[in-house]
A and B are shown apart, each in its own frame.
Chain A
């Protein structure tokens, strides 16, 4: 484990905060930058293609990204991404409440 130094910007968590929710077998994760100046950086790093590439076994259905420009946030909607949904999944976290940290844990690549 390498601790992140305060001013280093290595991962999405260093520039943004996020919340995950579920409806049926669809997960959504909203992501917001702390500083509006980082919104372009966030949009470059969190693309639909990136999410599908990083988590191929989890992202079995469509992934859609909605942009809320004036609030500097993105909303990802991932169908068929909850291993069956809250009642069916055998994952300990059957709601995918922790999915926000899948996004926040991604490295800032460019």
Chain B
């Protein structure tokens, strides 16, 4: 099977965006570090927009500071504003880690972030707090690249040569807090000690109760990150992550930690691959509870396979999630007709090829498309169900293709942070949402369709 690859390079204009900007991904990665606060070096609007996008998705306070550059600093340099911003953030938030993300504005005016931060560190007594600057100009990539860049920068900042220990490094791509929790549960059930990074499963989905904290409790501790070089191996759910941004590749190259790049444990085969890897890396035999959950998933797959076979999904979003969801759909006989990832630097095509080999028709594969391209491809391919984030709402509104919401952002439904698709249980939960969406359409239309077919 050969995928038909189309890009929107023929067009210059981007019509209805499928991706966010680079610093936004960096913000989410930093929210997964214990005691961390973020500051966006640029104009005030950037931080406010990122706050809005995150708040609407996670339904949690997401504070992001800004160096609030104005006209004068844009011309003469933003150093004074940045230092003042750092002072104020340290005073009010008292972070243990402060991530600084640049914007297109800061990068374009040529701010020397490393020098400014170096000097700031010398002048101030930060009481042990750390500053981690990351370059994330919006024009250089999407939020997916920003997320990887920040995660890699955090590791590069904290990782120290460490004596060997037994804790496996687990690096997750941008997924829901619920999925992170499920992955952690599987690690625990398999008895695999680990350092999971970045862990925003609590910070961006904080249970109610207790005193409100400006920096939500949770996140990966910096000591644990510092010791990642001593791990027996790194499991990274980042098969589409380019090497120059790959946190796992960094640990391998700089500290010799073997890297095992796995697809996200979403779907039966992908989850099996994780369980098998964990068993091999010192985990205990598969516990009864996971065997049972796998059994329920198999049972569900059998129950729904004839329904799912009617699905002609258009799948879009971040590459790692798109890869896993495409596999899930394909292994259930719902072969994707359009696969689109919102970024250029993905290795999506090679990952997809084997899993789609059984399909009766090649899917259209779109790299870094806009929704105008996705809608067009979905129409041409006769897609009847969409899988992805809220950006796909026009597929429903204008083309009547229902959308199974998963990924980021989910801003027109509640509970984006709780959408669970990982592990055997999460896969079954996703599959039920998918199958039931097909059934909903079927029951809403089959009487009319049959009437039209035979009576008119």
Q: Do A and B come from one complex?
A: no
**Chain A interface residues (CB < 8 Å from chain B):** none
